Homo-oligomer: A and B are copies of this chain.
Amino acid sequence: MNEQERLINDLVIANRILANENVCDAYGHVSIRNPKNPNTFFMARSLAPELVTRDDIVELDLEGNPINEESRHLYLERFIHGSILEARRDVMSVVHAHAEEILPFGIADGTPLRPVIHAGSFIGAHIPVWDIADRFGDTNLLVANVEQGRDLAQTLGENNVALMRGHGFAAAARSLIEVVRMSVYLPRNARALSRALHLGGNIKSLSQGEIDARNRGYKPYSPETWRAWEYWANKCGCGGMLTRPDED
Contacts and interface: CB of A to CB of B under 8 A. Distances in A.
Interface of A: 25-27, 46-48, 50-51, 73, 76, 98, 100-101, 103-105, 107-111, 116-119, 121, 131, 133, 137-142, 165-167, 188, 191-207, 209-210, 212-214, 216-217, 223-224, 227-228, 230-232, 234-235
A66 to B, nearest CB: 15
B108 A201 contact: yes
A192 B104 contact: yes
Of A76, A119, A137, most buried by chain B (CB within 10 Å of CB) is: A119
Given A51-B234, A107-B196, A116-B166, 19 more contacts: A25-B228, A25-B231, A27-B224, A27-B227, A27-B228, A46-B227, A47-B227, A98-B117, A104-B198, A107-B204, A108-B200, A110-B199, A111-B199, A118-B140, A121-B141, A140-B217, A166-B204, A166-B205, A194-B199
A58 to B, nearest CB: 14
11 contacts: A25-B228, A73-B223, A103-B195, A104-B196, A107-B204, A108-B197, A117-B166, A133-B210, A139-B213, A141-B206, A166-B204
B201 A100 contact: no
A7 B188 CA distance: 34
A24 to B, nearest CB: 10
Of A119, A140, A167, A223, most buried by chain B (CB within 10 Å of CB) is: A140
A111 B213 contact: no
Given A138-B210, A209-B137, A109 B232 contact: no
Given A73-B223, A100-B192, A203 B26 contact: no
B210 A139 contact: yes
Contacts of A138: 207, 209-210, 212-213
A209 B133 CA distance: 10
Contacts of A204: 107-109, 131, 165-166
Contact of A192 (B25, B103, B141, B212): B103
A23 to B, nearest CB: 14
A63 to B, nearest CB: 20
A200 B193 CA distance: 13
Contact of A100 (B131, B140, B188, B223): B188
A203 B133 contact: no
B234 A50 contact: yes
